[in-house]
């Protein structure tokens, strides 16, 4: 296999790619999501008051479970996994409720709820053919667009140094973030082939070097780091209480909507085709069942990562083996703590400079999906009303105070959930085509 053909295979799902060519692209995916993957566990441990030794173990475990989940999405077990280049990681969607359950009921009840809720979502994925017909392409397109919009503030906050950082918006953050962003943009516009596809990794390396040169990289946490540390299973004894279980299941339904949006965006933006309903169901099944496994590791649920969908769309690299090399890096990062600690030294402004354009590409994928659905008056109402209510209401979270706490937890700060619910309702009640008849359009390949 010559060099040119192996590079071309990077843009196909199943082509053969040499390991040395695959690893940089896998590493690029890991760097895009690494901080977001471990942050929910760090916040949860601090709020609940988990002791330092267990907290360190949980950080390792969340890297390992993210790697395992990604591998199963890429190389399915039975009907669990989509065979699509989806990268999995610990979900922020569950963080607020997890902190509440962990503080009031204990970590055992939280882990028990995570395990049961994951099984419920997994079963929904396996039975997807019975309910996916209500998710017409215009609904999926609206959700993808909402995901893109919802990620923009995350990229901006990272660019400025990370929300809550003491140096938020400082000159150094502006300088490093801007250099990183323009490096990514420059390689995306002017480079060709291999280098263009690595624009995010190159931008991150350049930004990291600049940040280190001006003293923004701190290596103190690398001291006294053990070389090898094996993961600990069941750090908390699962307990099963109806209240936490039902609350977590509600959030799993929200997570499933995000997975639907991410999977649709990936197929539309990176693979340039529609999504098959079997892929959708298998992706949700993986989301659920592997989240139950995450509970056994003491972690909160995992889900597909939108920033990696944006990266695949931007770079065009969809090769499963290349993405799998990143999953292996995550697993090794969990077994060899020094790897994970080294990745945590990347400043937030560098990550922000890399992710802004990636997040915008998800929004663009949503626009493209809307265009394919057509600009009929019915579609205009579904999209405009869903985005207006979903994005608008969740910016004024106080308006949800009249509702029960579970409603506030699910909807008040989650625009994707509100957009999804609005799009589903409008699609069902507006006059015109409601359900997909004949050949299922979810199976349609553009």
The answer, yes or no, to whether residue 440 has pLDDT greater than 50, is: no
What is the rounded distance in angstroms from the CA atom of residue 19 to the CA atom of residue 43?
Answer: 35
Within 8 A by CB and 6+ apart from 250, the residues are 406, 409, 410
Per-residue pLDDT of 355-370, as tens digits, reads 887 778 778 878 888 8
Give the pLDDT mean for 199-223: 86
Tell me if 351 sits within 8 A of 37, measured CB to CB.
no
For the ranges 18-22, 219-223, 256-260, 300-304, the lowest mean pLDDT is seen at: 219-223
- What is the overall mean pLDDT for the chain? 85
Reported confidence tier of residue 282, pLDDT bands at 50, 70, 90: very high
Tell me if 43 sits within 8 A of 309, measured CB to CB.
no
What is the rounded distance in angstroms from the CA atom of residue 120 to the CA atom of residue 11?
Answer: 35
| CA R_g for the chain | 21
Give the pLDDT mean for 31-55: 79
Q: Is 190 exposed, middle or buried (0-12, 13-18, 19+ CB in 10 A)?
A: exposed
Q: Which residue is associated with the tokens 């999953």?
A: 327
pLDDT of residue 439: 42
Within 8 A by CB and 6+ apart from 158, the residues are 348, 349, 351, 352, 355
Give the pLDDT mean for 383-411: 86
Q: Is 34 exposed, middle or buried (0-12, 13-18, 19+ CB in 10 A)?
A: buried
Tell me if 427 sits within 8 A of 138, measured CB to CB.
yes
Instruction: Give the HSE-up count for residue 220: Cα atoms under 13 Å, Cβ half-sphere.
Output: 3
What is the rounded distance in angstroms from the CA atom of residue 128 to the CA atom of residue 279?
Answer: 10
Selection from 36-45, 79-88, 145-154, 389-398 with the highest mean pLDDT = 79-88
- Helix, strand or coil, per DSSP, at residue 82: coil
pLDDT of residue 436: 41
Which pair of tokens denotes residue 209?
Answer: 């070097």
The answer, yes or no, to whether residue 85 has pLDDT greater than 50, is: yes
pLDDT of residue 412: 79
Q: List the domain boundaries for the chain.
A: 9-429
Of 213 and 410, the structure prediction assigns the larger pLDDT to 213
pLDDT of residue 437: 38
Per-residue pLDDT of 168-199, as tens digits, reads 999 999 999 999 999 989 988 888 777 887 88
Taking Cα atoms as reference points, which of 25, 14, 412 lies closest to residue 195? 25
Tell me if 446 sits within 8 A of 275, measured CB to CB.
no
pLDDT of residue 446: 39
For the ranges 197-201, 354-358, 423-427, 435-439, the lowest mean pLDDT is seen at: 435-439
Tell me if 80 sits within 8 A of 72, measured CB to CB.
yes
The answer, yes or no, to whether residue 340 has pLDDT greater than 80, is: no
What is the rounded distance in angstroms from the CA atom of residue 254 to the CA atom of residue 417?
Answer: 6
Q: What residue ranges in 225-350 does DSSP mark as E strands?
A: 302-304
Q: For residue 89, what are the β-bridge partners? A: 303
């Amino acid at each position: 296999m010559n060099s040119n053909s192996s590079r071309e295979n990077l843009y196909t799902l199943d082509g053969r790619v040499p390991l040395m060519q695959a690893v940089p692209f896998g590493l690029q995916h890991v760097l895009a999501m690494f901080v977001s993957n471990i942050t929910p566990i760090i916040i949860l441990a601090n709020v609940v008051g988990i002791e330092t030794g267990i907290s360190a173990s949980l950080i390792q475990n969340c890297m390992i479970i993210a790697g395992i989940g990604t591998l199963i999405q890429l190389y399915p077990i039975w009907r669990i996994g989509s065979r699509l280049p989806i990268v999995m990681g610990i979900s922020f969607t569950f963080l607020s409720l997890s902190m509440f359950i962990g503080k009031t009921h204990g970590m055992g009840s939280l882990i028990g709820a995570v395990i049961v809720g994951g099984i419920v979502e997994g079963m929904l994925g396996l039975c997807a053919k019975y309910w996916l017909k209500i998710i017409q392409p215009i609904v999926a397109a609206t959700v993808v667009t909402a995901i893109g919009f919802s990620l923009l503030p995350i990229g901006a906050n990272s660019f400025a140094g990370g929300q809550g950082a003491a140096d938020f918006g400082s000159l150094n953050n502006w300088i490093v973030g801007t250099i990183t962003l323009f490096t990514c943009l420059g390689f995306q516009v002017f480079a060709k082939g291999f280098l263009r596809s690595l624009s995010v990794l190159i931008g991150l390396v350049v930004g990291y070097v600049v940040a280190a040169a001006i003293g923004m990289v701190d290596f103190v946490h690398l001291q006294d780091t053990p070389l090898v540390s094996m993961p600990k299973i069941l750090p908390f004894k699962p307990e099963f209480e109806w209240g936490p279980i039902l609350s977590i299941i509600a959030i799993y339904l929200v997570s499933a909507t995000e997975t639907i949006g991410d999977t649709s965006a990936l197929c539309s933006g990176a693979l340039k085709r529609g999504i098959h309903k079997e892929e959708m169901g298998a992706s949700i099944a993986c989301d659920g069942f592997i989240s139950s496994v995450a509970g056994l590791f003491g972690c909160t649920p995992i889900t597909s990562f939108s920033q990696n969908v944006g990266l695949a769309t931007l770079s065009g690299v969809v090769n499963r083996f290349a993405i799998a090399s990143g999953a292996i890096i995550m697993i090794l990062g969990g077994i060899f703590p020094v790897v994970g600690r080294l990745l945590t030294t990347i400043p937030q402004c560098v990550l922000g400079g890399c992710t802004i354009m990636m997040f915008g590409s998800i929004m663009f994928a949503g626009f493209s999906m809307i265009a394919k659905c057509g600009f009929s008056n019915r579609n205009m109402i579904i999209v405009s009303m869903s985005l207006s209510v979903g994005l608008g209401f969740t910016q004024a979270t106080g308006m949800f105070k009249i509702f029960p706490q579970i409603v506030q937890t699910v909807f008040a700060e989650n625009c994707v959930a509100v957009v999804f619910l609005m799009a589903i309702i409008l699609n069902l009640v507006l006059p015109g085509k409601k359900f997909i008849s004949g050949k299922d359009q979810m199976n349609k390949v553009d």
